[in-house]
Amino acid sequence: MEKILVLLHTAADGGLPPAALETLGVAQSLGAAWDLAVLGANAAAAAQSISSGAGKTLAVEGDAFSQSRYSTDAAAAAALIQASGAQIVLAPGTMRFNRALPGVAARLNGAADTHIVAVDPSLNVHRWFYRQRMEGTLTRSTRPWVLLIEPGSNPAATTAAGAPAELLSVPVETRTQVTGFQSPAADQQTIRPGASLLFVAGAGWTKKQKDGATHTGEAGEIILGFVQKTQSSLGSSKSLVDLSGEGQAVLPFLTHLHQVGQTGSTPRHRKGLATCCHGEEPHVVGWRFINERRAINLDPACGWSRGKADVLYVADAFEVMRALAPLL
């Protein structure tokens, strides 16, 4: 089998993100010779900490490369790939590399495939098409070929320190500066990719309830209270996010970032609880990687009942969630 380059980046703190070790795990499982290359803050040390078993160990570091930025990341990655000479490049599909590596592949007259969930030793790769509606298995003859491995889809490698990294010097040319990050305050953050539970709120929370009135204020309190108490990650259906976007008196803490489904995200969590959403196909495709699924809905014939959830509770979500709060 062709030699592989495992191309990784460090996080802002200089450590390797979990997705990096998962990618290394995929490379190791293929049984081929592999080089290791790391870019970013503290890259050389990070590379050495896992370089046992690698052929070449390469790194690019320095202030310019500690920021996640296309121009510098692309220059560093291209230099590392060329220095390794490997034609198959395995890299984690983080936002940083999803941004940089497809362009690097084009620069090197190669190709890139993203969101890869598995790689066979024959270099057949598995990925999803049409918003997680169908799975394809493909391979390609173009080289170099960059394969971006979807985070969370493979087990992490067992690693050991090895040879020190050879540092490459890469010229810096950029017109972009990363000026910072914006995120809700820690107590208001409701998107938690690492949480074991995804809680999804649907448009039903804002509709008229049994008494003929809406109870949006209480709905907001119930939802936020639950998410904070369980430290779960909050998701939403498109219809509810759209309502929030139109400035109606709905659930102000929901943004497009919360949207799960065909035009939103496809998060990975062990469990998912859907409330007040109908479970239509365009929404449920966002649940592709939620292992255990339960739903609360007033309609016994809703989409969840048709094999999309493990358990459907036909009940009033307000009542259930009110009763649930003191039990947590």
Partner 1 sequence: MPYQIIVCGGLAPDPLQTLEPVSSPAGPALKNEMMLPAVFDPWAGHALYEAAHLAKQHPGSSIKVVSLAPKAKLQQVMMTIAQKLPFELVPLDGPGGGFTDAASIAAVLADAIAAIPGLDKSQVLLFGGWESATRGAGTVMQMVGEKLGITEQFLAVDELTIDADGALVIKERVEGGQHQVSRCTAPPAVLAWATGNLSEPANHPQTGMANMRAMMPALQKAKPASLTSALTFADVSLPAVTRQTRIVKDVPAAEIAREIAEWIKQ
Partner 2 sequence: MTPDEAPELKPLDADILCVGFGPATGGFLTTLTRGLGEASIDSRAMPGLPPQVLCYERADDIAFGVSGVVTRARAIRASFPDLNPDEIPMAARVTDEKLVYLLDPHGASRRPALMQFADKLIEACGGLLRAEHQGWALPYCPGFLHKRDGFIFSLGQFNQWVGQQVMMTGLAQIWPSTPVAGPLVENGKVAGVVLAADGSEVRAEFTVVGDGPIGPVGRRIDETFGMPPGHQRDEWAVGMKMVVDLPDSCDLPEGTVFHTIGYPEPEIFGFFYVHPGRVASVGIFVPSWLESPVRTSYRFLQHFVQHPYLWRYLKGGRMRSWGAKSLLESGRRGEPFLTGNGYARIGEGSGSTNVLTGSGVDEAWLTGVQLAEAVLDIYREGLPFTKENLDARYTAKRRASWLDHESRIAEKARNGFQRGVLQGFIGMGLAGLTNGAFSIPRPSEDKHVRTAEDFFVARLSRSEIETARQNAAREGKPLHDALMDLCGWPPIEYDGKILVSHQDALLMGGKVQAPPDFPDHVVFRQAAVCSHCASHLCAEICSAEAIHVSTTDPQGVPAFDREKCIHCGACLWNCPDSNIEFCAAPGGLHSAEN
Task: Kindly list the residues in this chain that would bind partner 2 in the complex (CB under 8 A).
Answer: 212, 242, 246, 278, 280, 299, 301, 303, 306-307
- Which partner, partner 1, partner 2, none, binds residue 245 by CB below 5 to 8 Å per kind? partner 1
Is 94 near partner 1 (CB under 8 A)? yes
Residue 254's binding partner, choosing from partner 1, partner 2, none, with beta-carbon cut-off 5 to 8 A by kind? Answer: none
Note whether 313 binds partner 1 by CB under 8 A. yes
Q: Which of the choices partner 1, partner 2, none does residue 268 contact, using the CB cut-off of 5 to 8 A by kind? A: none
Our CB check for partner 1 shows the closer of 5 and 100 to be 100
Phi, psi of 84 (to 5 degrees): -75, -40
Partner in contact with 278, chosen from partner 1, partner 2, none, beta carbon below 5 to 8 Å by kind: partner 2
In terms of C-beta density within 10 A (0-12 exposed, 13-18 middle, 19 or more buried), how is residue 91 classed? buried
Shortest separation between residue 56's beta carbon and partner 1, angstroms: 25
User: Own/partner pairs for 26-31, CB < 8 Å, 24+ apart?
Assistant: 26/90, 26/118, 26/119, 26/149, 26/154, 27/90, 27/157, 28/53, 28/157, 29/119, 30/1, 30/4, 30/119, 30/121, 31/1, 31/121
- Looking only at residues 195 through 224 of this chain, which bind partner 1 when binding is defined by CB under 8 A? 197
Is residue 312 classed as helix, strand or coil in its secondary structure? strand
State the minimum distance, in angstroms, from the CB of residue 128 to partner 2.
22
- For partner 1, what does the binding mask look like between residues 136 and 155, x meaning CB under 8 A? xxxxxxx-------------
CB of 52 to partner 1, least distance (A): 27
Nearest to 300 by CA among 327, 278, 328: 278
Instruction: Decide which of partner 1, partner 2, none touches 303; Cβ closer than 5 to 8 Å per partner kind.
Output: partner 2
Q: Which residues face 274 on adjacent strands?
A: 200, 295
Quote the least distance from Cβ 164 to partner 1, whole Å.
29
59 or 75: CB nearest partner 1: 75
In angstroms, the CA 78 to CA 56 distance is 16
Cis peptide before 300 (omega within 30 of 0): no
Q: Does 269 bind partner 1 (CB under 8 A)?
A: no
Q: How far is the CB of 283 from partner 2 (least distance, A)?
A: 11
CA distance 278 to 54: 50
Partner in contact with 171, chosen from partner 1, partner 2, none, beta carbon below 5 to 8 Å by kind:
none
Burial of 28 (C-beta count, 10 Å sphere; 0-12/13-18/19+): middle
Residue closer to partner 1 (CB basis): 34 or 289: 289
String of DSSP letters for 190-214: ---TT-SEEEEE-GGGGS--TTSS-
274 contributes a contact to partner 1 by CB under 8 A: no
